[in-house]
């Protein structure tokens, strides 16, 4: 596969470099924020080799590619930074856009916002997605390590009666698994600063101040803590999520104001100085507590839903998670799981999402077993395997959604699997992408909880595969080669 060619064709059909405000990528898709959405040729984008589908969601144009998205992204960045290539592509883009101008505008009417409230909501979700997307791989890696440690700890305790949690090796690797959450304010300060166009380093210093041992110890004291004679709300900011995001957002405006009014000769030194002098107290006195209350509110709301009916909650997420994936909207609720882990050290949202992933893998396997089309069988099998390791888009777009009935079977079995997990109280002790490799993350949920997770993913996978095979679908006819047509004639 020629990734440079794919990147060139994508660039042409999104309106070229001049039309791109920003482009980032997650596990499987390029996420474009564009200047003029009417310049997009969605029909041509979907025809590009390697592109699974194109979605419009959360004020973004999302080009779904799959596991090779990072390679396309790297080529795209090179092209965007190369002026000669950009000029050449602009000429091609102008020709393409002139030829298809009418159809492009018609296809992209959905981009026009019909109401300001919906537009603001989409922008907020898009912003949160941009902040958390770069952190997800680190969270997934840390979650894997934590899951492995949990299994080893249980094994040695049950088999040998030895608590390895005090072992030096365990302590070191446990630090590797916990560090990303403990220093979350520093990490999120960096990603938030990139989104809000603030100084990354100054933002990280602000995040580091919240994690500073002296501040942590101060917040743990029983006496009243004051700043300038004003009582400080006691809160633990290590592992916190929302306070630093709010603070960096405000910091971006403070920084811009100071850069505007500060004399050029002292700007380099005094802007950072005044930014920190303003923002550290403001965060501890105002924005930090607000963020903590919002985080507690989000956690409380989700827990209330779980308390009302964990079975219904599990069924809802297990059934509809991959429907959200289709629209790229699943990124908007991932922060709930991240916030849960940061606040309580556990999450069940992604356990339920695991049922959805395994159901997509199972449905694709059912397509592989049932279909007579060799090409479709290959796509379905590879999609099933990647879905078992947490990447569902190839299974969704390559087989299940394409054939419709397998997608319905996956939704049904994913909902049943999620309901079983909700009934059994399954939960994970870390943020983890949902697949075979992250099963150990759910091992500390106790016998009932872990067993319900295993039964849930088994129902999701095998149930979807069997149901898809039984229900069937309208198979895609095998295209005959030229030689086969001549022989038949």
- DSSP letter for each residue of 262-327: S-GGGHHHHHHHHHHHHHHHHIIIIIHHHHHHHHHHHHHHHHHHHHH-HHHHHHHHHHHHHHHHHT
All residues at 6 or more sequence positions from 240 whose CB lies less than 8 Å from its CB, including other chains: 184, 185, 210, 291, 292, 295, 342
d(Cα 181, Cα 216) in Å, to the nearest integer?
15
Q: Residue 347 has what pLDDT?
A: 87
Max distance between CA atoms of the chain, in angstroms, equals 94
Q: Residue 311 has what pLDDT?
A: 94
What does the domain layout of the chain look like in residue ranges? 3-112, 183-303, 309-471
pTM: 0.68
108 — pLDDT class (breaks 50, 70, 90): very low
d(Cα 462, Cα 362) in Å, to the nearest integer?
6
Q: Are 373 and 478 in contact (CB under 8 A)?
A: yes
Q: In percent, how much of the chain has pLDDT > 90?
A: 40
d(Cα 185, Cα 179) in Å, to the nearest integer?
11
All residues at 6 or more sequence positions from 15 whose CB lies less than 8 Å from its CB, including other chains: 34, 35, 36, 39, 40, 93, 97
> In DSSP terms, which residues pair with 30 in a beta bridge?
25, 63
Highest mean pLDDT among 29-33, 148-152, 308-312: 308-312
Give, as one character, the DSSP assignment of residue 414: H
404: left (phi over 0), alpha (psi -120 to 50) or beta: left
Report the mean per-residue pLDDT for the chain: 84
User: Options 2.40.50.140, 2.60.40.10, 3.10.150.10, 3.30.1360.60; which CATH number does 3-112 get?
Assistant: 3.30.1360.60
What average pLDDT does range 398-402 have in this prediction? 87
d(Cα 316, Cα 411) in Å, to the nearest integer?
10
């Amino acid at each position: 596969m020629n990734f440079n060619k794919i990147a060139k064709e994508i660039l042409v059909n999104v309106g070229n470099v001049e039309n791109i405000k920003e482009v980032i990528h997650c596990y499987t898709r390029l996420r474009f924020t564009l200047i003029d959405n009417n310049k997009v040729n969605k029909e041509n984008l979907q025809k590009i080799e390697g592109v699974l589908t194109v979605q419009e969601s959360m004020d973004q144009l999302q080009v779904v590619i799959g596991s090779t998205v990072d390679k396309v992204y790297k080529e795209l960045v090179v092209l965007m930074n190369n002026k000669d290539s950009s000029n050449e592509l602009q000429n091609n883009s102008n020709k393409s856009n002139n030829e298809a101008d009418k159809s492009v505008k018609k296809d992209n009417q959905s981009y026009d916002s019909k109401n300001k409230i919906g537009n603001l909501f989409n922008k907020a979700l898009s912003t949160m997605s941009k902040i958390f997307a770069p952190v997800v791989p680190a969270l997934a890696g840390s979650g894997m390590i934590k899951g492995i440690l949990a299994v080893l700890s249980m094994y040695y305790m049950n088999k040998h009666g030895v608590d390895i949690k005090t072992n030096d090796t365990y302590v070191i690797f446990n630090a590797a698994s916990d560090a990303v959450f403990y220093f979350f304010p520093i990490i999120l300060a960096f990603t938030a600063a990139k989104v809000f166009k603030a100084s990354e380093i100054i933002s990280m210093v602000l995040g580091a101040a919240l994690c500073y041992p002296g501040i942590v110890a101060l917040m743990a004291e029983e006496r009243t803590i004051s700043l300038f004679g004003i009582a400080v709300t006691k809160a633990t900011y290590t592992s916190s999520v929302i306070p630093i995001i709010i603070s960096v957002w405000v910091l971006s405006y403070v920084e811009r104001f100071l850069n505007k009014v500060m004399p050029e000769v002292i700007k380099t030194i005094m802007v950072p100085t005044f930014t920190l002098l303003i923002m550290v107290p403001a965060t501890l006195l105002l924005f930090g507590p607000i963020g903590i209350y919002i985080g507690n509110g989000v956690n409380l709301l989700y827990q209330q839903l779980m308390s009302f009916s964990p079975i219904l909650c599990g069924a809802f997420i297990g059934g509809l998670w991959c429907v959200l994936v289709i629209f790229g909207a699943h990124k908007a609720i991932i922060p709930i799981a991240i916030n849960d882990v940061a606040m309580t050290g556990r999450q069940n949202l992604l356990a339920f999402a695991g049922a959805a992933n395994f159901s997509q893998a199972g449905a694709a396997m059912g397509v592989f077993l049932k279909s007579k089309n060799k090409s479709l069988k290959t796509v379905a099998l590879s999609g099933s395997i990647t879905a078992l390791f947490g990447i569902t888009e190839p299974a969704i777009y390559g087989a299940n959604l394409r054939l419709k009935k397998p997608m319905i079977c996956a939704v049904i079995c994913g909902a049943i699997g999620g309901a079983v997990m909700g009934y059994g109280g399954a939960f994970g002790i870390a943020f983890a992408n949902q697949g075979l490799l992250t099963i150990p993350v759910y091992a500390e949920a106790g016998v009932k909880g872990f067993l319900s997770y295993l039964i849930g993913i088994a129902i999701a996978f095998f149930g979807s595969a069997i149901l898809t095979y039984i229900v069937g679908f309208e198979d895609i006819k095998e295209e005959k080669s030229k030689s086969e047509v001549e022989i038949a004639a």
